[in-house]
Amino acid sequence: MKDQVEPHVTADGRRIGGVLMDLRGITLRFGGVEAIKNISFDIREGEIRAIIGPNGAGKSSMLNVISGFYHPQDGEVWFRGAKRPAMKPFQVARLGIARTFQNIALFDGMSVLDNIMTGRLTHMKTGLLSQMVWAGPAAREEAENRAVVERIIDFLEIQAIRKTPVGRLPYGLKKRVELARALAAEPKLLLLDEPMAGMNVEEKEDMSRFILDVNDEFGTTIALIEHDMGVVMDLSDRVVVMDYGRKIGDGTPAEIRANQEVIDAYLGVAHD
């Protein structure tokens, strides 16, 4: 099943590199429930990797393992060629793994700009004291990071809502702001948990375009969970399929489409 993909250039000119993240034999239990059962797969530099599966298959749990919110009982997480020890989520974020959440986790009381600026926190190095007195380096750093954030705001076309408190935005825009905050961290690996859940067709098209553009322009590696099969097949380079915590498929969209087990899981299979 495991495909041996060598570094290569895709038909549309994107560079797929070596293995960025390697998950080996991950098992995650909540009490007696096994949410993830001995799953292994890898994510290669520069690719868009989708994780799909029916409800309750363990997709979000998988993403939470990668981002350090859950700690698997078994298995190893390898990142950039080194085994990653058990880490708190904020330490994982500092390694260069940014994420968005299924149910949007933004700072509702803060403006769009401030929300995205929090994404730059890991890049700001000046200390507490110089920040307090707003010393030269601190002010310069703030300006530099602000410039990065403004570029992202332009890129995602949210200039108009820059100063609006996030709590007042409609759902689709919140999703976009969350993506902007994750991008602001200039992550090596970007995790998107159902970036298109609850969106209408038009919003989905916008979001798909942004995801492709991010991958294309910044070369960001993206791992995403999505329900909409059409979107997944269009976007991703490779797909992992999960069902009841097991991996039932792994390959290119074309391979997945032809995989009988996947078809059964999605369409149901007659038991006679």
Using the rule CB under 8 A, give the single segment among 41-49, 73-81, 100-108, 251-259 that binds another protein: 100-108
Cα 38-267-255 angle, rounded to 5 deg: 60
Written as six digits, the tokens of 41 are 């797969």
**Closest to another protein by CB, 158 or 262:** 158
Single out the residue of 5, 22, 69, 253 in contact with another protein (rule: CB under 8 A): 69
CA atoms of 92 and 160, how far apart (whole Å):
32
Footprint of another protein on 78-97 (CB under 8 A): 88-91, 93-94
CA atoms of 160 and 165, how far apart (whole Å):
12
Q: How far is the CB of 228 from another protein (least distance, A)?
A: 23
**117 belongs to the binding site for another protein (CB under 8 A):** yes
DSSP secondary-structure letter at 165? B
Single out the residue of 14, 37, 76, 124 in contact with another protein (rule: CB under 8 A): 124
Written as six digits, the tokens of 271 are 């038991």
Single out the residue of 53, 58, 72, 119 in contact with another protein (rule: CB under 8 A): 119
Q: Which long-range contacts (CB under 8 A, 24 or more apart) does 32-36 make?
A: 34/245, 35/61, 35/245, 36/61, 36/62, 36/65, 36/72, 36/245
**Closest to another protein by CB, 93 or 239:** 93
Where along the sequence are the contacts to another protein (CB under 8 A)? Answer: 67, 69, 88-91, 93-94, 98-99, 101, 105-110, 114, 117-122, 124, 126, 128, 131-132, 134, 138, 142, 181-182, 185
